[in-house]
Amino acid sequence: MQYIFNVHEGIHEYIKLGRNYPFPPPPTKRCHNPKCNKLVSFRKHGFYERYYYSKEYKGKIVIRRYICPLCGCTISYISNFCLPGFINAINHIFEYIYNLFYRKGSINSVIKQLNLKNNVQFSRQILYYYRKKFIKNLNTIQNGLRQIIHKVKLPDETLGNTEKARNVLAIVVREFPNIQLFSQKYYQATAKTFLAA
C-alpha cells in the first residue's frame, strides 16, 4: 500500500536530505491487510530505493516504509512528484500526454521539442504507451474526477476516445494548475494512479 505526501521543500531538498528528510510520522490507522484490519500505530520500517527520472534529477530516491506491528504488512510514503509505479516525473508524463493530444505538428516534433525543453529522453514508444494507458483508463479517470470535483461536467459519452481524452485533459488543466495536486487527490480518492491498468 502506498500513500502520497507533499514535499513542500522541492525535489532538490528531498534528494539532498535523503534518509534524513522529515518524512510524515508513522500513522495510526486501520491496517489495510483484511486478515488483520486492526487499528494500529504503524512503526518505522526502513527505506527502499526507486528510480526517478526528471529534468531536475535522474537516479535513485529513497522511499520511507512503515510496518503494522501485528501482521507485518507495510505501507510506503511516496513524494508527490512521483507517480506510483512509474519512474518518470508526474509533471513530465502529464505534459507529454497533454501535448500529444493537443499537438499542432507531428508526434516526432512534439517529442523532440519537449525532450529539449525538459532535458529528458522520452521515446515515441513510451509516449504511445502512456497514450494507450490514458485512453484505456478514460472511464476510470472520469469516475475519479466525479469523486474529487463536485458537479464536474464530463465529456459526452458519444464522443470518440481522442476527443473525450482532450476534454478530460482540459478539465484536469482547468481545475488543477498543479498536476501533482490532481495526481495526489486522484490517488487518495481511488487508490490508483490515473494511468493504472
With respect to residue 137, please indicate whether it lies within any of the assigned structural domains.
Answer: yes
Same domain, 102 and 66: no
Of 53, 79, 105, at which residue does a domain stop? 79
At 30, the pLDDT band (50, 70, 90 cuts) reads very high
Same domain, 134 and 182: yes
Mean pLDDT over residues 74-102, rounded?
93
Same domain, 69 and 96: no
The reported pLDDT for the residue numbered 197 is 61
With respect to residue 195, please indicate whether it lies within any of the assigned structural domains.
Answer: no
Same domain, 124 and 177: yes
Structural domain for 146, as ranges:
90-190
Same domain, 26 and 95: no
pLDDT for 90 beyond 80? yes
Give just the sign of the alpha carbon dihedral 115, 195, 102, 170: negative
Same domain, 146 and 173: yes
Q: Give the count of domains, the chain.
A: 2
Of 79, 106, 139, at which residue does a domain stop? 79
Q: What is the mean pLDDT of the chain?
A: 93
Of 35, 57, 79, at which residue does a domain stop? 79
Same domain, 185 and 147: yes
Same domain, 109 and 160: yes
With respect to residue 33, please indicate whether it lies within any of the assigned structural domains.
Answer: yes
- Please enumerate, as own/partner, the contacts of 11-19 that have beta carbons within 8 Å and a separation of 24 or more: 11/54, 11/56, 11/57, 11/79, 11/81, 12/56, 12/57, 14/61, 14/79, 15/57, 15/61, 18/62, 19/47, 19/62
Distance CA 171, CA 142 (A): 10
At 162, the pLDDT band (50, 70, 90 cuts) reads very high
At 161, the pLDDT band (50, 70, 90 cuts) reads very high
Q: What are phi and psi of 192, to 5 degrees?
A: -140, 160
191: left (phi over 0), alpha (psi -120 to 50) or beta: left
Distance CA 133, CA 159 (A): 18
With respect to residue 154, please indicate whether it lies within any of the assigned structural domains.
Answer: yes
Distance CA 179, CA 91 (A): 6
